[in-house]
Structure 1
Amino acid sequence: MPPRHPEIDPHLLSETDEQRQLRAVLRDFYTETSGPEEVRKHLATPRGYDEPLWARLAGEIGVHALAVPEEYGGSGFTFAELAVALEESGRALSCAPLLPTVALAAHALLYSGDRTASERYLPRIADGTLTATVAGFHAEGPGESDEPGVTAEQGGSGWVLRGQADFVLDGAGADLILVRAQTPAGPRMFACEPKPDTSRRTPRRVLDETRRQALVEFRGAPATTVGTAERTEETVAATLDTGRAALAAEHVGGSGHALDATVEFVAQRHQFGRPVGSFQAVKHRLADVLVTLEAARSASAYATACAAVASPHLPVAACAAAAVCSETFRLATAEYVQLHGGIGFTWEHPAHLYVRRARGGEALFGTTDRHRTRLAELIGLTTGSAA
């Protein structure tokens, strides 16, 4: 019989007073600074987001520093506090690279156990002056990706990267890219600060324009190793599971906005002399979204708690949350469009932006089917190894 892991403390599944206060501050912040018109304006900028707003988020509220230890210039909280920020950013459909910078790259540095790299990069991530992302962290199992990948070789002046990584989150704008590359001795993680002469970054046209992605081609780009070779795959796997938990929190926030906006609209819109929301069929559809959303909240809360305490349950919790929250977001946004009637199908209404975020999120860190397959492997329902 496999050894039992300690269970998660139920208190970790409930919000603390500090987390509630953080949520209220962020809700007010995004209400003041974000909206459909602001999102469209941000998409037209070179970086795809409001850089002064990004600086305010770091400086005034300290979001970037939440899950960074104090020894690296952070606030010393946990992923639980960061998940609150991610949920509120998902609710507001924030275009800023919070997911790749703070959820992925920062945690990859922490999981690597490399103090030198952490001391070099984490303080700048925490204060908002450095954006970062990861590349080559495939969600597929070995041999399942058609991507050529990135290789690393040692030259006279150190390591250089060659090859390409596609659909890299914020790949065209990130100041730092943590790359999983193949070396003659096996995979290693490298830190690369891309320069135009050695790294070509081509923005990809993607469904969700609020979350930019790019093809990154390394042409002898200088890089430094991060962590040890023995720890590379463990670091990549933990980073991806943390990313799944982070994306689940975002999806809960987006679903909550879709439901709240739809309930408000059907209460105001009238047909046959009555509010549309008074019709039984509409009530049932919204009730279905609410039930599904509550299940998603529970799945997300459990994954968040596992990430916050580095629980060995995280792979299972992250897969479950990814599958449940992704499907919830898809349902919530579908009803967001349909129950708004004709206006919901127009480009002027923000509903389609949330639909795009929901559909785009389904492909990040593995598809829903892939999450279910991996979950079955992790809990022993199938034979074979987990990816």
Structure 2
Amino acid sequence: MSAQPDLLYSEEEEALRAAVRDLLTDHCDAAGVIARTESAAPHDVQVWKALSGTMGLAGLLVPEELGGQGATHREAAVVLEELGRAVAPVPYLTSAVVATEALLACGTDGLLAELASATTIGALAVGLHVAPGGAFANARLEKGALHGELTGIADAALADVLLVPADDGGLYAVDASAATVTPQVSLDLTRPVARVTLEGAPGRRLGDAEPAVRRALRAGAGLLASEQLGLADRSLTETVRYLKDRKQFNRPVGGFQALKHRLAQLWLEVVNLRAAARGAADALATGEDADVAVAVAQAYAAPAAVRAAEEALQLHGGIGMTWEHPAHLYLKRAKADSIAYGTAGAHREALAELVDLRAP
């Protein structure tokens, strides 16, 4: 029988958190993120370079012998918590986790080293809505070239290389300049999606698509829970701070019992979300019951994060409804995350199968 996992944060993980939070506090403020969502360049390339280049965090999941940091999903989860707290518009989840995991499944050393050093940004050309094990669209392979249209590809606009599944069962590396990337309307402008059109694009076969995509989406779903934890925790913290300052009838609004009850319930949900997210990160790191842990985390994380963001918007009152206040960033990210890498319902169905609790 395996030992009980330790879900508490280690000293190294707390030090990593502090470093990432300091960087984001200095260079990724809410006003700047809001301004970027109104521009033609929503991604914050400078913050991405600082995270991936200066701090070396793009290669956390890549073994040292392949040019990475040789860390685990637990460390990557801590980074994603902080990115969720800041709603940072960087391609960490899509490149440093999902695309990297797909390459690890294929054992592609050269491209892995490029992603680890962040000289290249990768994007898996599978719709952001697809759950682990779910059906995904393939490009057509004709005479060694790829054709087709793939939609809902997260962070494709910033990618240098696209990892494209094809109808021959292979996963191909395609230079992004060989594809036409067209932005699509997205609720969450901090993680834009795009349509990728391939018209005879050359590709290099990396390995088999099905196991690579399954592994990549499982890691994406599992670590997405840590991003959802970060944004939920930040939503709660900022709401508590606001209600302590906001006065009505000459007393702090946070002193009213009805609001105390709402905040207490939300705190319990965030605590449970932390346990689920940490469980998924640890399971991905150890490989023990990872499918179950990821399904549990996502079944819980999506509604909990949305509820935290909705409560923050409501309890901030009129100010929360303004474009200048960042509350809408958290609600949009939470709603978009709730269908990313599978809905909560899809993960509950997967969990039922995994633990043999099928519907009658």
Same fold (TM over 0.5): yes
TM-score (norm 1): 0.88
Do the aligned partners of 2:123 and 2:159 also contact (CA within 8 Å) in 1?
A: yes
Structure 2 partner of 1:381: 357
Structure 2 residue aligned with 1:352, among 289, 313, 328?
328
Structure 2 residue runs without a partner (length 5+): none
Matched, 1:207 2:187: yes
Moved over 6 A (4+): 141-145
Q: Is the 8 A contact 2:131 2:217 kept in 1?
A: no
Cα 1:356/1:22, change in 2 over 3 Å = same
Q: Which residue of 1 aligns with 2:262?
A: 285
| Other-structure match for 2:70 | 76
Give the match for residue 96 of structure 1: 90
Find the counterpart in structure 1 of residue 297 from structure 2. 321
**2:120 counterpart of 1:130:** yes
User: Percent identity over the alignment?
Assistant: 36
Deviation of residue 43 (structure 1)?
3.0
Q: CA offset at residue 7 of structure 1?
A: 3.7
- State whether structure 2 residue 150 is matched by structure 1 residue 165: yes
Distance 1:172 1:18 in 2: 34
1:3 aligns with none
- Higher mean alpha-carbon deviation, 329-338 vs 125-134, is at 125-134
TM-score normalised to structure 2 length: 0.95
* Amino acid across the alignment from 1:193: D
CA distance in 1, matches of 2:103, 2:135: 26
2:266–2:308 CA contact under 8 A, matched in 1: yes
Contact 2:132/2:214, CA 8 A, preserved across alignment: no
Deviation of 1:32 after TM superposition, in Å, equals: 1.2
Alignment of 1:221 onto 2:201: yes
Kindly provide the CA deviation profile for residues 148-175 of structure 1, in whole angstroms up to 9, marking residues without a partner as x. x41223x3xxx32111110001122211
Q: Return the match for 2:56 from 59, 62, 68.
A: 62
**Structure 1 pair 323/176, CA: closer, same or farther in 2 (3 Å)?**
same
Within the candidate set 120, 143, 152, 2:141 is matched to: 152
Tell me the CA shift for residue 47 of structure 1. Answer: 4.1
Alignment of 1:6-17 (within 5 A): 7=2, 9-11=4-6, 13-17=7-11
Question: Quick one: which of 162, 176, 184 aligns to 1:194?
Answer: 176
Structure 1 or 2: more helix by fraction: 2
RMSD of aligned Cα (Å): 1.9
Q: Are the aligned partners of 1:136 and 1:181 in contact in 2 as well (CA < 8 Å)?
A: no
1:38 alignment partner in structure 2: 32
Distance change in 2, residues 1:143/1:354 (3 Å): closer
Counterpart AA for 1:322: Q
Unaligned stretches of 5+ in structure 1? 1-5
